A and B are shown apart, each in its own frame.
Chain A
Amino acid sequence: MNKKVADAHEAIRDIEDNMVLALGGFGLCGIPENCIAALVEKGVKGLTCISNNAGVDDFGIGLMLQQKQVRKMISSYVGENAEFERQLLSGELEVDLIPQGTLATRLMAAGYGMPVIFTPAGVGTEVAQGKEVRNFNGKDYLMEYAFDPAFSIVKAWKGDTHGNLVFRATSRNFNPLVAMAGKITIAEVEELVPAGELNPDHIHLPGIYVHRIFQGSSYEKRIEQRTFRKKS
């Protein structure tokens, strides 16, 4: 049951052109920095990326956009990235914008073995175009399908060799949901410990959803909006 791999390069070795990937993180918080760097180095192209955001120009998924590795983004908010805007307007990049809760729950549904979800988000808007609407108890809901990514890539705070994961603060965000959706799930962690060292009561995501795990290095953890209060 040892799922440990040496590093990001070994973890992503069989990710190929034109695959569908799901990536964890909210903005730049909790993104799998090591795997993104390895994907940039490997140069795989034509990717579809399911990720709440698309990074910024020079960090996160923005690095993959710079290298024109992404054909399509499936996201809820992409407002922090000028290169993204340029590629979108020039037609090089396709984007599917979906409500954030719908994105999260479509990932969750994949991990729960449920083919669809019903959500009121987007009813009566252009998001509803072409989708089945059902009325339950007097309220309309859209039917949305579970995602089915070939690979999921997440970042956790701690993990063990069985793939059990513990997240920290708001860097949890989409990570456990992305992890449960992948046919193959890769987790990079700040600290990898032998199975048995983590308290089973404290596991946020059980290792059954994780196939490869490694201890990452040199985390930059860039902050998008550094906001302070003054000492009085």
Chain B
Amino acid sequence: MALDKNQIAQRIAREVRDGMYVNLGIGIPTLVANYIPDGVNVVLQSENGLLGIGPFPFEGEEDPDLINAGKQTITTVPGSAFFDSALSFGMIRAGKVDLTILGAMEVADNGDIANWKIPGKMVKGMGGAMDLVASAKNIIVAMQHVNPKGESKLLPACTLPITGVRCVKKIVTELAVLEVTPNDGFRLIERAPGVSVDEIKQKTIGRLIVEGDVPEMKF
């Protein structure tokens, strides 16, 4: 069974370590916050100027001055801090943010990522993604293994305009967990329960390294 979005988030949450500062992108990455294990204390960074993102507010308690980078109303947790956008990207650029989790349209087997533009269609912009991928120490991508046309999103080289070069460290899809080794390709680490190595091979057109028995994820 392929993972649903929440299971992808749940699997990524296992990569989060106590004491980390973490930036979560829009979409599946935002869901990761719901699955961080008890006893693992992290501080979530929002690039519009907050360390210490809390849960969504209760209805009637929303504050228009308090939003996340996806423009959603949020709250803060005890110990949070506000700052301006230059300081926010300063701490990102300086490598103070330990882990960045974001979505992607394509990832190449050398770690290149494309997630900001589809030429000829609407160009929404890169927002903070180019800054994040250029500087983060550890980047995990959450995405579907194939696009809506059924084509692999794990490629020998990105076909879309790239967001950053040789930067993705790990990818979690509905089918698999893969580690990126920039010189050798995608190393298959785990497969979703009941998903065969053959299916993953078939849906990965970038170089794929399969060594020994690949364990199934447990939930």
Contacts and interface: CB of A to CB of B under 8 A. Distances in A.
B49 A173 contact: yes
A222 B71 CA distance: 11
Interface string A168-207: 1111111111000000000000000000000000001000
Given A101-B89, A226-B73, A79 B125 contact: yes
A122 B72 contact: no
Interface string B88-124: 1110110000000000000000000000000000111
Contacts of A227: 56-57, 62, 72-74
A52 interface: yes
B66 interface: yes
A164 interface: no
A177 B84 contact: yes
Contacts of A28: 64, 71
B127 A100 contact: yes
Contacts of B47: 100-101
B64 A108 contact: no
Given A107-B86, A170-B67, A76 B55 contact: no
A107 B89 CA distance: 13
B10 interface: no
Contact of B124 (A79, A168, A176, A228): A79
A30 interface: yes
A105 B89 contact: yes
Given A125-B162, A224-B71, A99 B83 contact: no
Contacts, number: 174
A225 B72 contact: yes
B66 A77 contact: no
B59 A76 contact: no
Q: Which of B58, B83, B89, B90 gathers the greatest number of chain A CB atoms within 10 Å?
A: B89
Contacts of A177: 84-86
B126 A77 contact: yes
A29 interface: yes
A70 interface: no
Chain A CB within 10 Å, residue with most, of B62, B127, B162, B164: B127
